[in-house]
Structures are given as C-alpha cells and as structure tokens.
Amino acid sequence: MTYLESAKNLTGSAAALGGLALTFAGFAGTYWPVVVAGLYGAGALIAPPTRPPAPEFPDPSSQLSALRADLTTLREYLDRVELPPAATALIGSLTKLVDGLLEPGWVSQALAQDPEGVHVLARAVHRDLPESVDAFVRTRWWTRMAPGQQDPEEQLERQLSLLHREVEALVAGLREAEEIRQRSHTRYLEDRGPERNRAWEKEPGKGRPPEP
C-alpha cells in the first residue's frame, strides 16, 4: 500500500499511461508492452525518493528550562550536606555563575546558541558537582574510620576549583562573542563613512541613516 501511494509508482504510472497513448496513436506497434513497461520503469527511476520526516528534538530553550529545575534540585541536595567552609564558598560561587547563565532572557538565549556550552553546564549540574560532593562525603567517613594519605577536603576543593574554572571559561567565551559582535558593528560604521551619512540626511523625508 505504501508503494502504491509513493511518488515512484505515481510517476511510473503516469509515464505508462503516456506509453498507452502512444500505442493507441499507432507509434508503439507490436512492441507496445515493452514501451509501456519501459516508460513505467523510467518514470519510477526519475521520481524523487521518499523522504522520511526528520526527527524532532527539544529546542535549546526547553533544555535550559529543564536544567534550571535540575539546578534547584541540586541546591536542595547541597543544602543537606555538611561541607567545609572553603568548599561551601566555592560551591556558592559556582552555582551563582551557573544560575546567571541560566537566567531567562538574552543571556540564556546566547547560551542556547552554544551547544557545547549547554553541554558543559548540564554535565556540571547532572554529574560533576554531585559526584564531587558525594565522593567527598563517602571518603570523609572512611577517613574518620581509618585516616588515609589524601585529605578529602583538599581533593574536594581542587575539584570545585576546576569546575569553577571551566564555567568561567564558558562565560569568557560568551563575552568574547559579544565583543566580536560589537567590534564588527564598529567596523561597519567606520566603513560606511561620514559621506554616506550626510548624503542620506540630505534626501527629502530622511533625517538619519537606516539601522544596521
């Protein structure tokens, strides 16, 4: 049934009907079955292939909305964990950065244009930060039972510093993109030159140049 409704069958059938018309007009002669079959095959070959619909995935804005909710859940978890003061300060600074990037508005819209940046934040919220804190809690308990060679607090602070640096790099990349955009607009205005602006202002009914 699918093939009967396909473009290949419809195009081939139309070509075959043309072959029958040639037969009735007397052009095909005794070879009309071959002509009709050949035209059907040719029509089926030249017909465009069936194109399945492309899969639909959530847009970046919906991913960021879900990530905001996940960040709230993560904060609730962190509030229940007893952490050293230095680690608490690092986590507070880190979550503040993430929260600022996820704030609804033009900032999160800029982030949504950077799939790698969205991945970095999702990885930090879903895996890296929870794993760092949970590993610290488990290791600290074992260290109290039998002290080891590594300080759990020191390891946690190192991990949090690395995560903080990673998110800071993401912020710097977004800032650099805006700086490039600003410089490009400056060059555009410089290249346009004052002569063109004055010529535009002299035209009747026009008091200023068009917006870029």
Q: Are residues 42 and 69 in the same domain?
A: no
Contact 195, 125 (CB under 8 A): no
**CA–CA dist 192, 182 (Å, integer):** 15
Q: Are residues 107 and 176 in the same domain?
A: yes
Please indicate, yes or no, whether the overall pTM of this predicted structure exceeds 0.85.
no
**CA–CA dist 117, 52 (Å, integer):** 31
Share of the chain above pLDDT 90, in %: 44
Q: Are residues 118 and 195 in the same domain?
A: yes
Which residue's structure tokens are 């030249």?
46
CA of residue 189 relative to chain centroid, distance: 31
pLDDT-derived band at 143, boundaries 50, 70, 90: confident
Q: Are residues 98 and 12 in the same domain?
A: no
Query: Which residue segment(s) compose the domain that 68 sits in?
Result: 60-202
**CA–CA dist 83, 137 (Å, integer):** 8
Which pLDDT belongs to residue 84?
94
Q: What's the structural domain count of the chain?
A: 2
Contact 167, 91 (CB under 8 A): no
* Three-state secondary structure call for residue 74: helix
Nearest to 123 by CA among 82, 170, 86, 87: 170
What the block records as the tokens of 84 is: 């050293």
Residue 189 lies in a domain: yes
Q: Are residues 163 and 139 in the same domain?
A: yes
Structure-model confidence comparison of residues 89 and 115, the more confident one: 89
* pLDDT digit string, tens, across residues 15-26: 666 655 656 566
| Range of weakest confidence among 34-43, 58-67, 127-136 | 34-43
Amino acid identity, residue 95?
A: T
> How many distinct helices (H) and strands (E) make up the chain?
8, 0
Q: Are residues 80 and 153 in the same domain?
A: yes
In this prediction, residues 43-70 reach a mean pLDDT of 74
**CA–CA dist 13, 28 (Å, integer):** 17
Which pLDDT belongs to residue 24?
59
Q: Are residues 69 and 95 in the same domain?
A: yes
What the block records as the tokens of 121 is: 């934040």
What the block records as the tokens of 35 is: 């002509």
For residue 4, is pLDDT > 60? no
